[in-house]
Amino acid sequence: QLQLQESGPGLVKPSETLSLTCTVSGASINNAHYYWGWVRQPPGKGLEWIGTVYYTGNTYYNPSLKSRVTISVDASKKQFSLKLTSVTAADTAVYYCARHTKSRGGYTWGHWGQGTLVTVSS
Amino acid sequence: QSVLTQPPSVSGAPGQTVTISCTGSSSNIGADYDVNWYQQRPGTAPKVLLYANNNRPSGVPDRFSGSKSGTSASLAITGLQAEDEADYYCQSYDRSLSGSVFGGGTKLTVL
């Protein structure tokens, strides 16, 4: 049974770097059918796609965040990670890691982690 | 401002039918990309409710159905139950962004 678990600091200071890791259990990151991504949700607001990584290391980023985001994968550790630089209060959100498929029809986010709240504050 | 537009809230009495609309553009829904729907209960992660416009994952009741036409899609919930009270999000792929786009979410209240 696939499980995804986010981990990382819950509090980050403004202008610093937010770093989160997602650990995958119950499935292989190397499965060619799936992609691994991050989605965030500011308190009381909607969902925003941050970016996606494939097991080969190929990455796809939301253009609005692309200059500040790096997503990487370490298949040997069954983990993928998110780094978001120069954070501000606007980056305060629940961050979800999730697995999605990619087809001609688009992305389907089938499995999600429980989410982790990251607050940006001094 | 979300790329896909949903009504902020809808409501209905138990047993009634409600629909939630999702309006996009020619670079996402109108470009023939699939629409997926997610249900999110308070304090939990989203869960896929419908995928590829009108396909239900195992375990999702057939009270939930979806449709798509032009640059819009909709989610219909028939025979409303108290347990359906949640936030609902539509999602598609946008070729301009080369990635996922979500609606702003719709809060369903069962009266």
pLDDT digits (tens, 9 = 90+) for B49-103: 999 999 999 999 999 999 999 999 999 999 999 999 999 999 999 999 999 999 9
Q: Among A10-24, A96-110, B37-51, which stretch is predicted with the lowest mean pLDDT?
A: A96-110
Mean pLDDT, residues A42-53: 96
Could you tell me which of A102, A98, A60 has the C-alpha nearest to residue B47?
A: A98
Give the whole-angstrom CA distance, residue A68 versus residue A60.
Answer: 13
Burial grade of A8 (CB within 10 A; 0-12, 13-18, 19 or more) = middle
Among the partner-chain residues B45, B48, B105, the one whose CB lies closest to the CB of A115 is B45
Q: What is the pLDDT of residues A65-103, one digit of tens each?
A: 999 999 999 999 999 999 999 999 999 999 999 999 988
Tell me: pLDDT of A104 over 90. Answer: no
Percent of chain B with pLDDT over 70: 100
What percent of chain A is predicted at pLDDT more than 90?
95
Q: What is the mean pLDDT of chain B?
A: 96
* Contact indicator for B2, B100 with CB cutoff of 8 Å: no
Check pLDDT > 90 for residue A6: yes
Residue B46: the pLDDT is: 97
For a pLDDT cut of 90, what percent of chain B falls above it? 98
Q: Is the pLDDT of residue A105 over 90?
A: no
Residues 6+ apart with CB under 8 A from B43: none
Residue B1 has pLDDT above 90, yes or no: no
pLDDT of residue A102: 86
pLDDT of residue B105: 97
| Chain A hits for B46, Cβ within 8 Å | 47, 96, 109, 112
Residue of A nearest to B56 (CA): A110
Give contacts of A109 with chain B, Cβ < 8 Å.
36, 38, 46, 48, 91, 100
* A62: nearest CB among B97, B103, B105: B97
d(CA A37, CA A52): 4
Q: Specify the residue for token string 């449709």.
A: B67
| pLDDT for position A103 | 84
